[in-house]
């Protein structure tokens, strides 16, 4: 068949950083992605193709299958026959309790080309993030991966608890939370000491990871008291004792907090990383969408007449990217800019420039248009400046620099549009107060947030949801639309927003 192929890819256990490089490459090339309920949707950042979810997990209850296995197989086969590159993205490793091998057999029988890209399975990942090493020189020389939930069509269990009770190492049960009493009782009856150390790790490697650690006989009751939910792993063995010394993930500074990121989806990659790095869950609440300009002609004209200008000014990383990508696309390269001085509004914009091996000549000491204008004033008298910016934005540069007889030509290199409405999932999270913080990084974002909030969600602001503003200008804009700001960044970038949240959290 012409060109179609299926990649059975392991997405890792939850932390979106725990996918393989090969897995990411597959996502980037794919025409269609079918992903299951355990896959972290943040992974879909790497994707520009069509995406379909085959199964939804409702935390605390059983998986609700949206597509039956046969239907998934048929979908994979049909798409590959159309010549598509299909990624079947599965939580953890596709061949560990993942039915990946059933899909592989169906593909082989249908004559479809496929590859398997293994993933990090929940046992090693969740245990590692909980400070439990499933093998250990002194405590465990073997590890068993066991399913607590067998095929419902099977008449008798293939789990031999007599054998498992004697197993010389760590036992890890997948899908066992709802059968924890049965598992624990069966092991004890079969002779496993009731004092054996044991743990349950819920939602491992995510900001909602919770671990309960006790001895075997007390495990079911402790798990109920702690209210642990699926997906969870049961880990039984002396290796659990190491957790006291090596637990690390649950101690991260913003662990478990949900932080709303209000920038456009395309711009949020760094903020998502910040959130995850400090143990928080990024909640994507984009208020604006970014796209190319409606008309490239003015940009192309400006690029053709760059010799008219002495300065090139960027006030956002987007401006840098759209302008320089366009310059390249229409056949030029960096030499076109050789005679120009470059000014940037702040460090993130300057960093965007570095990616093109260009350096900025000027960054103001504060990252606002007014400060940029002040810094430029002594340098640009009588000169011509090209400002590569967005369709919206304040006219500060033109006005201020006219005072020193500099001319600022603004060219729109990307457009900024308001998001019309959020999906119901985001609205529910806000209305039920399941977001702890929302970061606001510009006045227009503050106004947009106010517009997008439902009445019920607005009531949560100041109660369960706190707002963190990037700068005094943004704080002012928020106040004007009736939004109360809890903290303001000392440095005017997203890192500053996270620092302000951290400071507030550690003082409470
Ligand atoms: N293929 C997956 C497992 C799928 S079976 C893998 O290799 O990890 C689903 C079970 O995996 C869940 O019931 C739970 O026992 C376990 N699991 C998956 N993700 C988990 C997580 N983040 N934390 C704890 N257990 C997890």
3-state secondary structure 392-405: CCCCHHHHHHHCCC
Site to substitute for ligand 1 among 37, 39, 92, 208, most atoms within 8 A of C-beta: 92
3-state SS class at 40:
coil
Task: Name all residues whose Cβ lies below 6 A of ligand 1.
Answer: 13-14, 38, 90-93, 96-98, 121-122, 126, 174-175, 201, 203-205, 230-233
The pLDDT of residue 158 is above 80: no
441-455, pLDDT tens digit by residue?
Answer: 989 899 999 999 999
Measured from the Cα of 205, ligand 1's closest atom is 22
Q: What are the backbone dihedrals phi and psi of residue 190, each rounded to the nearest 5 degrees, phi first? A: -80, 5
Whether the CB-CB separation of 412 and 315 falls below 8 Å is answered with: no
Q: What are the backbone dihedrals phi and psi of residue 136, each rounded to the nearest 5 degrees, phi first? A: -160, 140
The pLDDT of residue 56 is above 50: no
Distance 144 CA to ligand 1 centre (A): 15
The pLDDT of residue 152 is above 70: no
Burial letters for 50-77: b for 16+ Cβ neighbours within 10 Å, e otherwise?
ebebbbebeeeeeeeeebeeeebbebbb
The pLDDT of residue 405 is above 70: yes
Nearest CA-CA partner of 73 in 93, 92, 101: 101
Distance 441 CA to ligand 1 centre (A): 36
Measured from the Cα of 95, ligand 1's closest atom is 1
- Hunting for tokens 């309790």 — which residue is that? 97
**Atom 11 of ligand 1, residue of closest alpha carbon:** 174
Helix H or strand E encompassing 65: strand 64-65
pLDDT given at position 58: 37
The two structure tokens encoding residue 113: 């080309």
User: pTM for this structure?
Assistant: 0.83
Q: Which residue has the higher pLDDT, 394 or 208?
A: 208
Distance 337 CA to ligand 1 centre (A): 52
The two structure tokens encoding residue 170: 């760590």
The arithmetic mean of pLDDT across residues 246-260, rounded, is: 95
pLDDT given at position 325: 96
Q: How many residues does the chain have?
A: 508
Q: Please tell me the distance from the alpha carbon of residue 26 to that of residue 381, in angstroms, as a whole number.
A: 52
Q: What are the backbone dihedrals phi and psi of residue 200, each rounded to the nearest 5 degrees, phi first? A: -120, 130
The two structure tokens encoding residue 92: 């953890």
Q: Please tell me the distance from the alpha carbon of residue 70 to that of residue 82, in angstroms, as a whole number.
A: 18
Q: What are the backbone dihedrals phi and psi of residue 120, each rounded to the nearest 5 degrees, phi first? A: -80, 120
pLDDT given at position 63: 44
Distance 61 CA to ligand 1 centre (A): 14
Site to substitute for ligand 1 among 9, 38, 206, 234, most atoms within 8 A of C-beta: 38
Give residues with Cβ within 8 angstroms of 441, minimum separation 6: 262, 263, 470, 474, 494, 497
The pLDDT of residue 244 is above 80: yes
Q: Please tell me the distance from the alpha carbon of residue 334 to that of residue 350, in angstroms, as a whole number.
A: 16
Distance 377 CA to ligand 1 centre (A): 59
- The model's confidence at residue 57, banded by pLDDT at 50, 70 and 90, is very low
Q: Tell me the pLDDT of the chain averaged across its residues.
A: 92
pLDDT given at position 36: 86
Distance 340 CA to ligand 1 centre (A): 55
- The model's confidence at residue 62, banded by pLDDT at 50, 70 and 90, is very low
pLDDT given at position 489: 96
Distance 26 CA to ligand 1 centre (A): 22
Whether the CB-CB separation of 327 and 333 falls below 8 Å is answered with: yes
Measured from the Cα of 175, ligand 1's closest atom is 13
Q: Please tell me the distance from the alpha carbon of residue 387 to that of residue 372, in angstroms, as a whole number.
A: 12
Q: In what order do the strands lie in the sheet with 437-440?
A: 281-284, 258-261, 437-440, 466-469, 487-488
Measured from the Cα of 119, ligand 1's closest atom is 7
Measured from the Cα of 120, ligand 1's closest atom is 7
Measured from the Cα of 94, ligand 1's closest atom is 1
How many H-runs (helices) and E-runs (strands) does the chain carry? 19, 22
Nearest CA-CA partner of 444 in 322, 259, 261, 263: 263
The arithmetic mean of pLDDT across residues 324-349, rounded, is: 96
424-444, pLDDT tens digit by residue?
Answer: 888 999 999 999 999 999 898
363-377, pLDDT tens digit by residue?
Answer: 999 888 999 999 999
Whether the CB-CB separation of 314 and 345 falls below 8 Å is answered with: yes
The pLDDT of residue 61 is above 90: no
Distance 152 CA to ligand 1 centre (A): 18
3-state SS class at 305:
coil
The arithmetic mean of pLDDT across residues 107-136, rounded, is: 97
Q: Please tell me the distance from the alpha carbon of residue 40 to that of residue 144, in angstroms, as a whole number.
A: 26
pLDDT given at position 149: 82
CA 352 to chain CA centroid, nearest Å: 20
The pLDDT of residue 253 is above 70: yes
The pLDDT of residue 389 is above 60: yes
Distance 245 CA to ligand 1 centre (A): 25
Q: Please tell me the distance from the alpha carbon of residue 360 to that of residue 403, in angstroms, as a whole number.
A: 24
Q: Please tell me the distance from the alpha carbon of residue 142 to that of residue 135, in angstroms, as a whole number.
A: 6
pLDDT given at position 55: 60
pLDDT cut 70: percent of the chain above it: 94
Q: For residue 24, give Cα distances in angstroms to 9, 29, 84.
A: 9, 9, 17
Measured from the Cα of 209, ligand 1's closest atom is 23
Q: Please tell me the distance from the alpha carbon of residue 439 to that of residue 269, in angstroms, as a whole number.
A: 14
The arithmetic mean of pLDDT across residues 337-345, rounded, is: 97
Q: Please tell me the distance from the alpha carbon of residue 420 to that of residue 451, in angstroms, as a whole number.
A: 9
Site to substitute for ligand 1 among 118, 145, 174, 178, most atoms within 8 A of C-beta: 174
162-214, pLDDT tens digit by residue?
Answer: 999 999 999 999 999 999 999 999 999 999 999 999 999 999 999 999 999 99
Beta bridge partners of 418: 288
3-state SS class at 372:
helix
pLDDT cut 90: percent of the chain above it: 80
Beta bridge partners of 411: 388
From 154-168, 383-397, 487-501, the region with the lowest mean pLDDT: 154-168
pLDDT given at position 394: 77
Q: Please tell me the distance from the alpha carbon of residue 346 to that of residue 462, in angstroms, as a whole number.
A: 30
Helix H or strand E encompassing 226: helix 219-226
Q: For residue 196, give Cα distances in angstroms to 20, 128, 184, 241, 359.
A: 35, 20, 11, 10, 60
Distance 38 CA to ligand 1 centre (A): 8
Distance 122 CA to ligand 1 centre (A): 5
- The model's confidence at residue 268, banded by pLDDT at 50, 70 and 90, is confident
pLDDT given at position 137: 92
Q: Please tell me the distance from the alpha carbon of residue 200 to that of residue 207, in angstroms, as a whole number.
A: 16
Dihedral sign of CA atoms 234, 239, 244, 247 in order = negative
3-state SS class at 180:
helix
Distance 86 CA to ligand 1 centre (A): 23
**Atom 2 of ligand 1, residue of closest alpha carbon:** 92
Q: Please tell me the distance from the alpha carbon of residue 150 to that of residue 147, in angstroms, as a whole number.
A: 6
Site to substitute for ligand 1 among 122, 129, 151, 178, most atoms within 8 A of C-beta: 122
Distance 204 CA to ligand 1 centre (A): 9
Site to substitute for ligand 1 among 101, 233, 236, 281, most atoms within 8 A of C-beta: 233
């Amino acid at each position: 068949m012409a060109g179609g192929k299926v990649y059975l890819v392991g997405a890792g256990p939850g932390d979106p950083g725990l996918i393989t490089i090969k897995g990411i490459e597959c996502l980037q090339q794919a025409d269609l992605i079918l992903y299951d309920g355990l896959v972290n949707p943040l992974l879909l950042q790497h994707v520009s193709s069509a995406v379909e979810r085959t199964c939804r997990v409702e935390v605390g209850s059983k998986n609700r299958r949206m597509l039956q296995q046969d239907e998934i197989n048929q979908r994979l086969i049909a798409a590959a026959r159309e010549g598509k590159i299909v990624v079947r993205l599965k939580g953890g490793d596709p061949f560990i309790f993942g039915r990946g091998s059933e899909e592989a057999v169906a593909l082989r029988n249908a004559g479809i080309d496929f590859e398997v890209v293994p993933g990090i399975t929940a046992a090693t990942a969740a245990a590692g993030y909980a400070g439990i090493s499933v093998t250990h020189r002194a405590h465990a020389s073997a590890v068993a991966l066991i399913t607590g939930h067998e095929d419902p069509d099977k008449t008798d269990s293939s789990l031999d608890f007599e054998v498992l009770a004697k197993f010389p190492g760590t036992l890890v049960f997948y899908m066992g939370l709802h059968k924890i009493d049965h598992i624990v009782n069966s092991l004890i009856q079969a002779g496993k000491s009731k004092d054996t150390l044991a743990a349950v790790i819920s939602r491992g490697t995510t900001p909602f990871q919770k671990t309960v650690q006790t001895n075997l006989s007390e495990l079911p009751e402790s798990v109920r008291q702690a209210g642990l939910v699926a997906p969870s792993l049961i880990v039984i063995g002396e290796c659990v004792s190491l957790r006291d010394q090596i637990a690390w993930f649950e101690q991260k500074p913003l662990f478990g907090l949900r932080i709303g990121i209000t920038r456009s989806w395309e711009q949020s990659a760094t903020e998502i990383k910040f959130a995850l790095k400090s143990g928080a869950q990024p909640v994507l609440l984009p208020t604006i969408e970014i796209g190319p300009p409606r008309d490239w002609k003015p940009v192309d004209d400006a690029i053709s007449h760059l010799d008219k200008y002495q300065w090139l000014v960027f006030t956002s990383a987007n401006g840098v990217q759209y302008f320089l990508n366009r310059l390249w696309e229409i056949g030029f390269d960096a030499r076109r800019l050789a005679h120009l001085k470059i000014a940037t509004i702040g460090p993130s914009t300057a960093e965007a420039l570095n990616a093109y091996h260009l350096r900025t000549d000027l960054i103001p000491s504060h990252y606002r248009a007014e400060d940029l204008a002040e810094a430029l004033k002594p340098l640009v008298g009588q000169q011509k400046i090209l400002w590569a910016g967005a369709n919206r934005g304040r006219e500060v540069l033109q006005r201020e620099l006219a005072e020193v007889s500099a001319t600022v030509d603004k060219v729109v290199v990307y457009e900024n549009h308001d998001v019309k409405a959020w999906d119901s999932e985001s609205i529910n999270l806000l209305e039920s107060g399941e977001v702890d913080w929302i970061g606001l990084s510009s006045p227009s974002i503050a106004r947009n947030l106010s517009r997008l909030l439902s009445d019920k969600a607005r009531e949560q602001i100041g109660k369960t949801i706190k707002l963190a503003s990037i700068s005094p200008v943004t704080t002012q804009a928020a106040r004007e639309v009736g939004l109360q700001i809890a903290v303001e960044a000392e440095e005017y970038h997203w890192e500053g927003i996270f620092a302000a949240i951290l400071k507030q959290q550690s003082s409470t």
